[in-house]
Amino acid sequence: MKFIKHFIIAFCCLFVLANATAQTPEKPTFKLYLVGDAGEGDTTGATLRDLHTELLKDSNSAVVFLGDNCYLKTFISSLFDLEVGGYNGGKTAKKRMMGQMNILRGYKGSAYFVPGNHDWWNMIDLKKGEKRLRQEEDFVEDTLKTFTSLKNHDKGTFLPSKGNAGPVSLDFNNGKTRIIFIDTYRLIIEEGRKRKSAATRLDSFYHSLETQLKDATSKHEKIIVVAHHPIHAKGKHSGPLIFWERVIRRFGDNNPNYPPYNKMAVHLDSLLKMQNRPDIYYVSGHEHSLEYLYSDSLHYIISGAGSKIDKVKDGSCENGFECLKFNEEGFFEIDFYGHKETVLMYHRKDNSIPLDVHCVSGCQ
């Protein structure tokens, strides 16, 4: 009788414990923070301060700055109120870069900067553009080497490096998550060059990307491709070509409807879709908004609202897309679990509670 009594008590304790465990939220095994176009302010703005708060909570994470890391006006562009420049080593440029890098002080995860068109100074001349880009890369690398709390402070924080298009693959989360870094502006430049050498470089890039995607797929890794230019998006860059975009290539190259950009986007999209997997993310900035799109088993995240906003008009999504658009400054976070992911959107309208937008429309 005593044995039966003890057995019942033990069984009840196990039942209660199992029930409590089931109700305990599962903890992410890895977090990825994504913010783009954060190079507008001379100080650390509210959005970046919010991101800093989140970064300090978990060292098992990484953050990627998605390009256009510094905006500057040249003498001529200032007459038309246009920011076509990027980092130039001057006082203002250093302030704008440090406004971003300062949020990495004390952070114990990994940090990366990806180049955008402004980091190339919107140049279509490879030598001139690369010279500007390398100046920024050196400043980022030299500065972050002194941030010794970063896991990768001495292993490369500006990817792809030296003006190369990539792709550069890094594994995280004990080999369960792969991040692939690419420089889309270098690809757009090459797409517009009518030279055999450009075609050779593009063939090499796309072959390498396909190989890396297939390798990650064979290992059942979650795949995140990070770049500056979106494949699909809404916003001021994505409208019909206007006059000066048709006649001045350095402006046209920023519009998905311009032939070199369009060729790149179509090629990237086709390679991603070839994998036929529901856990591939293509993440970009460029459009100054927060957008999440889903189509053909692919997730497209646009996180270009790090320091500025261009209103995205309300309206229907593209054919075959499910989407969410938000006209507020902010950033994204992807949380990885053993069998799923969660996509969180932080925005300044209510920065206390991030929105869970993963498959917000059902991902059908």
Is 2 a member of any domain? no
Contacts of 306 (CB under 8 A, 6+ apart): 35, 36, 37, 38, 39, 40, 45, 47, 48, 65, 100, 285, 329, 331
Q: Does residue 214 register a pLDDT over 90?
A: yes
As a whole number, mean pLDDT of residues 273-284 equals: 90
As a whole number, mean pLDDT of residues 283-310 equals: 90
Residue 56 confidence class, pLDDT cut points 50, 70, 90 = very high
Q: Facing residues of 169 across strands?
A: 180
Is 56 a member of any domain? yes
Which pLDDT belongs to residue 237?
67
Q: Which amino acid is at 337?
A: Y
Is 141 a member of any domain? yes
Backbone angles phi, psi at 174, to 5 degrees: 55, 40
The pLDDT tens digits for 64-113 are: 999 999 998 765 544 445 567 899 999 999 999 999 999 999 999 999 99
| Nearest C-alpha neighbor of 28 from the set 357, 341, 344, 352 | 341
* Domain total of the chain: 1
Q: Facing residues of 30 across strands?
A: 336
| Nearest C-alpha neighbor of 364 from the set 317, 332, 312 | 317
Q: Which residue has the higher pLDDT, 248 or 133?
A: 133
Say if CB 336 and CB 222 are below 8 A apart: yes
Half-sphere exposure (Cβ direction) of 328: Cα atoms closer than 13 Å: 16
C-alpha angle 40/165/111, rounded to 5°? 50
Is 152 a member of any domain? yes
Cis geometry, peptide bond prior to residue 240 (ω within 30 degrees of 0): no
Q: What's the Cα-to-Cα distance from 113 to each of 226, 281, 321, rounded to whole Å?
A: 10, 18, 29
Q: Does residue 10 register a pLDDT over 50?
A: no
Residue 15 confidence class, pLDDT cut points 50, 70, 90 = very low
Which pLDDT belongs to residue 12?
44
Q: Which residue has the higher pLDDT, 295 or 160?
A: 160
Domain around 305: 30-356
Supply the mean pLDDT for the chain: 85
Is 88 a member of any domain? yes
Q: Does residue 11 register a pLDDT over 80?
A: no
Question: What is the H or E stretch that residue 313 is in?
Answer: none
Q: What's the Cα-to-Cα distance from 147 to each of 82, 143, 314, 350, rounded to whole Å?
A: 34, 7, 42, 31
Q: Which residue has the higher pLDDT, 245 or 232?
A: 232
Query: Which CATH number covers residue 50?
Result: 3.60.21.10
| Nearest C-alpha neighbor of 279 from the set 349, 346, 225 | 225
Is 330 a member of any domain? yes
For the chain, the maximum distance between any two Cα atoms, rounded to a whole number of angstroms, is 94
Between CA 134 and CA 140 the distance in angstroms is 10
Between CA 333 and CA 28 the distance in angstroms is 11
Between CA 364 and CA 202 the distance in angstroms is 33
For the CA atoms of 82, 88, 92, 96, the dihedral, rounded to the nearest 10 degrees, stands at 80
- pTM here is 0.89
Q: Does residue 245 register a pLDDT over 90?
A: no
Is 17 a member of any domain? no
Is 130 a member of any domain? yes
- Quickly tell me which residue has 């692919």 as its tokens: 298
